[in-house]
Structure 1
Amino acid sequence: MYLEEVKKIVIDVLALGAAGESLNEHSALLGSLPELDSMAVVQLIGALEDHFGFSVDDDEISAANFATLGSLAAFVRFKLTA
């Protein structure tokens, strides 16, 4: 449901360009995309907060949430329905 919106944000924040279009829900993010370093995680969280209008607490930031595009979209869905 939120996968395409999250994908667009990931592509924009990480400046992946056309290469990012091949991302799907199973695409590994953290540890697989060199662009996704610790500073990019912070920028990505900020972009998700701004776009979707929620806040992410420090204890919600985990490798599991950033493992794949699908897990990140599931985290967004959780935040919006919690």
Structure 2
Amino acid sequence: MTGQGVPATDNSLRSRASIDRDLRQILCDVLGLDTDEVDDFDADTGLFGHLPELDSMAVAGLLTEMEDRLDIVIEDDDVDGEMLETYGGLLAFTEAKVAES
């Protein structure tokens, strides 16, 4: 079960709001960001290269935590600068991965 009460193995039932909420919590937990700061993220909020906490080492931890909590698989080929550039890009990537699983 995920923290939102939806079985992790049935991602087809996950709403965009649920994915958004989980992704924000993962960013807080992995990067040690303040919840209020992350709650203010919009689609254009810069991530990699904009948040000092999100360096190359943190990216690996972030992706691993996303896989674990959202029951998705992220291949090395999936990871590029565009998906980590903004919160909107990361959310869109995550939604697509959840839909695939």
- Structure-1-length-normalised TM-score: 0.89
1:15 is aligned to 2:16: no
Question: What are the within-5 Å matches in structure 2 for residues 58-69 of structure 1?
Answer: 58-69=76-87
- Structure-2-length-normalised TM-score: 0.74
The runs of 5 or more residues in structure 1 that have no matched partner are: none
Q: Give the secondary-structure state (helix, strand or coil) at the position aligned to 2:92.
A: helix
Q: CA deviation at 1:21?
A: 3.2
The runs of 5 or more residues in structure 2 that have no matched partner are: 1-15
Matching residue of 2:23: 6
Question: What are the within-5 Å matches in structure 2 for residues 1-82 of structure 1?
Answer: 1=16, 2-17=19-34, 18-82=36-100
Q: 1:54, 1:19 → 2: CA distance? A: 26
Q: What is the Cα-based RMSD across aligned positions, in Å?
A: 1.2
Give the stretch that moved more between structures: 19-28 or 30-39: 19-28
Q: CA deviation at 1:22?
A: 2.4
Q: Match of 1:49, as an amino acid? A: E
Q: In percent, how many aligned pairs have the same letter?
A: 33
* Structure with larger RCO (C-alpha < 8 A, sep 6+): 1
Consecutive aligned runs of 4 or more in structure 1 exceeding 4 Å deviation: none
